[in-house]
Structures are given as C-alpha cells and as structure tokens.
Amino acid sequence: MNQDAKKAALRMIPYGLYVLTADDGKGNVAAATINFVTQSSFAPPLVTLAVKADSGAYAIVKQTGTFALNVLGKDQKGAAFTFFKPAKVEGDKISGMGFTKGAASGAPLLSDAPASIECRVKKIVEEGDHHVVVAEVLEAHLNKPVSGRPDLVTLEMKDLGDTVFYGG
C-alpha cells in the first residue's frame, strides 16, 4: 500500500470532536477526546464510535455499558486539548470543566458543551487499536440553543489548525 496515499486519503474524512465521559460509580471517572463518531440508526437511535482499546475510558465503558458523548462547540478548542490527557475530578469539575451526572447513564455531562448524549452499549467490536462501540441513545441534552444547522456548531479536527491530524 502506498503509505502517503493512505495517509492523505484517510485524513480527507471530516472529524467532529467530542468528549466521551464515563463513571464506574466506584470513584473511577474517565473523559477522553474522541473523533471517530457517527449516527448509525434513526430507530432505535444509535451512535457508533471507536475508542482507543488501551484507554481508561474504554475500560470503564466496557465494564459499565454506559457513557456520555459531549459535543464540543467551535469555541472549545482548549477542551479538546484538555481531554487528550487523563481526566482529574475535583469536586464538581472534571479537568477544570463543570459537569453534572446524567440521570440515564451516570456519566459526567459537561455543562459548557453545546450538547450531550447519554448512551447504553449495545455491541462492541474488538478489532484494531480502537474498538468499535455501537450504542443506543438513552437521553439527549441541549445546553445551548441552536440556530441554523446544528452540525455547524460542532468543533472539527480541522478547526485545531493545519498541523493537528488524527488518522492516516
């Protein structure tokens, strides 16, 4: 395979940025920036995402079967970088960002994220360095009113600058 062509072609896939959060209820909380995410069904509402197989977030998602997907807004570049590192919970903040616990999932919902989606795992495909999680949407939250196209609110990988890539 031509490695340069593979890298360029895979980098042509647009990526939104999200913070996956999970809580095992025993004091272990994870939050990680992820970008392999898509809606995969209308009825029932399903999302499909890939999570780094050796991450703490994946371990909690696999154990509990629940998580939240927090949509990052265009003005939240700093949050994307914050959650590239392991999260720390201090009071009502996770890595410095306010959160509440989701009633449907128990996972942290970032208060400043434009939206959060609480999910329950339906299936995990354990292939590659990221495992694919198919999850049912249990509850959706809008923290900020959306005018115009909702997808234009989402922070995308390309918004982080010309030298930040994922994939390829």
pLDDT at 166: 63
Q: What is the DSSP letter of 160?
A: G
| φ/ψ (deg, to 5) at 67 | -170, 175
**Contact by Cβ (8 Å): 101, 108:** yes
Token pair 């694919």: residue: 132
**Contact by Cβ (8 Å): 72, 83:** no
**Contact by Cβ (8 Å): 77, 83:** no
pLDDT at 10: 78
Cα(2)–Cα(10) distance, rounded to whole angstroms? 12
pLDDT tens for the chain, 168 residues long, are 888 888 888 777 888 999 999 999 998 999 999 999 999 999 999 999 999 999 999 999 999 999 999 999 999 999 998 998 888 899 899 999 999 999 999 999 999 999 999 999 999 999 999 999 999 999 999 998 888 999 999 999 888 887 766 665
Query: Tokens representing 101?
Result: 């616990």
Sequence spans of domains, the chain: 19-160
**Contact by Cβ (8 Å): 16, 150:** no
pLDDT at 50: 96
pLDDT at 168: 52
pLDDT at 164: 67
Buried/exposed code over 131-167 (b: 16+ C-beta within 10 A; e: otherwise): bebbbebbeebebeeeeeeeeebbbbbebbeeeeeee
Q: pTM for the complete prediction?
A: 0.92
Task: Please count the other Cβ atoms lying within 10 Å of the Cβ belonging to residue 109.
Answer: 24
Q: Does domain 19-160 have CATH number 2.30.110.10?
A: yes
**Contact by Cβ (8 Å): 130, 50:** yes
